[in-house]
């Protein structure tokens, strides 16, 4: 204090210089730290630039613009695919707008109405329906409706089966032998199946072999029955997370024109249905059923002999034309057809839409 009192100006100047030195030292340290960080960042950028220099194509502005254009085209293609997979015409409109039954009782009466109308259509088109196909793939619900968790899936299968059967009956087959559908899964069961499929693929890649098939029956709580069939997952168009499918199998008899007409109808893509397999074999007498009236062989009516006495000499009467009963040399073959199809729908993750298996308001 005595020095400050004796030389106040000198002490104040020393204090100011000390503070200035401390400030400059802090600034120098801060600049040094910033330079060090900048040098580290520069080395990282050099490493990244060296790594990117080997990329093909090179990361240039032109390449970035081309990638953005490809992305825009892919998004447009996805939108067009989603629009196409919604189908068109009355069948697609019915699938989009018909409300899902809210309770098991409503689902039961919906299936019962479908079965009665389809039987009436079969009679109108003169298609013999075998007892095994009399409930058109829904014999499991002859006495009660599906479980609450399965109502949306069964309802969707019913609408697709209605479209398939109407298209088939329009082709006029001789008889319908069987209608089967793939086992339905709830959302939780589908997620468990997809997880198992991905695990099987990963294990197959690690072992260098083909993945083992994972059947839907492993995850379904639905009991076995004549309504269901198991489709090999390796033959399915299903892609977990992108495409969901539901398979159907129809067995019927008829001539080749019936199969051709039926397949052409499905190819019109009113609903997104893909034909996965067609099996052809000879039809037995039990498979064929009774022939329609239009195909029955004509019969000859007996003509009674008569004698007419007259004094005039009339012109001889022309004999009545007789229908030929000679069978053709080559008879039209009757075949047994087994057609397996898949109904395709984009997964919600691919479209950003709600789960199609959930009831709609």
Does the global pTM surpass 0.75?
Answer: no
pLDDT digits (tens, 9 = 90+) for 143-161: 999 989 889 999 999 999 9
What span, in angstroms and rounded, lies between the C-alpha atoms of 309 and 51? 118
Higher pLDDT, 148 or 303: 148
| Parallel, antiparallel or unpaired: strands 228-229 and 175-182 | parallel
Cα 197 to Cα 178: distance, rounded to the nearest angstrom: 30
| Tens of pLDDT, residues 315-331 | 555 555 555 555 555 55
Q: How confident is the model at residue 56 (pLDDT cuts 50, 70, 90)?
A: low
State both tokens at 347.
């997964």
Q: Which run of H or E residues covers position 159?
A: helix 151-170
Q: Tell which phi-psi region holds residue 188, choosing left (phi > 0), alpha (psi between -120 and 50) or beta.
A: alpha
Q: Which of 37-41, 228-232, 272-276 has the highest mean pLDDT?
A: 272-276
Residue 198 has pLDDT above 90, yes or no: no
User: Can you tell me the distance from the alpha carbon of 15 to that of 274, in angstroms, rounded to the nearest whole number?
Assistant: 91
Q: What share of the chain has pLDDT > 90, as a percent? A: 32
Q: What tens digit of pLDDT does each residue of 66-113 get?
A: 888 888 888 888 777 777 667 778 888 888 889 999 999 999 999 999
The model's confidence at residue 60, banded by pLDDT at 50, 70 and 90, is confident
Q: What are phi and psi of 353, to 5 degrees?
A: -95, 165
Which of residues 31 and 200 earns the better pLDDT score? Answer: 31
Q: What is the CA radius of gyration of the chain?
A: 39
Structure confidence by residue, pLDDT tens digits, 264-302: 999 988 889 999 999 999 988 887 766 666 555 444 344
- 135 C-beta neighbours (distance < 10 Å), count: 21
Please give the average per-residue pLDDT across 246-275, as a whole number: 93
* Residues 194-208, mean pLDDT to the nearest whole number: 76
pLDDT at residue 101, as a whole number:
94
HEC letters along 80-137: HHHHHHCCCHHHHHHHHHCCCCCCHHHHHHHHHHHHHHHHHHHHHCCCEECHHHCCCC
Does residue 11 or residue 67 have the better pLDDT?
Answer: 67
C-alpha 162/C-alpha 341 separation (Å) is 14
CB atoms within 10 A of CB 54: 7
For the chain, what are the domain ranges? Answer: 79-290+334-351
Query: In terms of Cα–Cα distance, which of 110, 112, 125 is closest to 168?
Result: 125
Could you tell me the pLDDT band of residue 305, with boundaries at 50, 70 and 90?
very low
Which of the residue ranges 10-19, 56-65, 265-274 has the most confident prediction, judged by mean pLDDT? 265-274
Helix (H, G, I), strand (E, B), or coil: what is residue 297?
coil
Q: Quick check: 333 pLDDT over 50?
A: yes
Label the pairing between strands 228-229 and 243-254.
unpaired
Contact 222, 228 (CB under 8 A): yes
- Angle (CA) 353-359-360 rounded to 5° is 65
**Average pLDDT of the residues in 337-353:** 76
Two structure tokens written together for 62 = 């032109």
* pLDDT at residue 307 in the model: 36
- pLDDT above 80 (res 352): no
Is omega for the bond preceding 57 within 30 degrees of 0, making it cis? yes
Tens digit of each residue's pLDDT (9 = 90 or more) over 157-173: 999 999 999 999 999 99
């Amino acid at each position: 204090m005595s020095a400050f009192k004796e030389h106040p100006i000198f002490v104040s100047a020393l204090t100011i210089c000390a503070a200035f030195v401390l400030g400059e030292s802090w600034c120098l340290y801060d600049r040094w730290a910033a330079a060090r960080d900048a040098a580290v960042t520069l080395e990282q950028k050099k490493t990244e630039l060296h790594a990117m220099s080997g990329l093909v194509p090179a990361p240039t502005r032109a390449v970035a613009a081309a990638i953005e254009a490809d992305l825009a085209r892919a998004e447009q293609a996805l939108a067009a695919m989603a629009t196409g997979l919604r189908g068109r015409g009355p069948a697609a409109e019915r699938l989009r707008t018909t409300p899902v039954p809210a309770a098991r009782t409503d689902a039961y009466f919906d299936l019962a109405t479908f079965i009665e109308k389809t039987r009436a259509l079969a009679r109108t088109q003169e298609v013999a329906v075998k007892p095994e196909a009399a409930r058109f793939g829904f014999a499991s619900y002859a006495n009660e409706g599906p479980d609450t968790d399965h109502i949306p899936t069964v309802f969707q299968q019913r609408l697709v089966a209605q479209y398939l059967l109407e298209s088939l009956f329009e082709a006029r087959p001789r008889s319908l032998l069987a209608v089967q559908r793939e086992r339905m899964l709830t959302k939780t069961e589908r997620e468990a199946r997809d997880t198992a499929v991905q695990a099987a693929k990963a294990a197959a890649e690690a072992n260098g072999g083909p993945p083992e098939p994972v059947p839907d029956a492993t995850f379904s709580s639905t009991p076995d029955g004549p309504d269901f069939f198991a489709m090999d997952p390796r033959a399915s168009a299903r892609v977990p997370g992108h495409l969901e499918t539901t398979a159907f199998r129809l067995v019927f008899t008829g001539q080749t024109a019936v199969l051709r007409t039926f397949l052409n109808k499905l190819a019109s893509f009113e609903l997104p249905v893909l034909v996965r397999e067609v099996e052809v074999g000879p039809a037995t007498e039990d498979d064929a059923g009774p022939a329609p009236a239009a195909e029955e062989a004509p019969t000859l009516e007996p003509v009674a002999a008569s004698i007419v006495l007259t004094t005039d000499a009339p012109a001889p009467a022309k004999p009545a034309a007789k229908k030929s009963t000679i069978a053709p040399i080559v008879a039209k073959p009757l075949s047994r057809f087994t057609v397996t199809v898949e109904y395709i729908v984009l997964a919600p993750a691919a479209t950003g839409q709600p789960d199609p298996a959930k009831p709609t308001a």
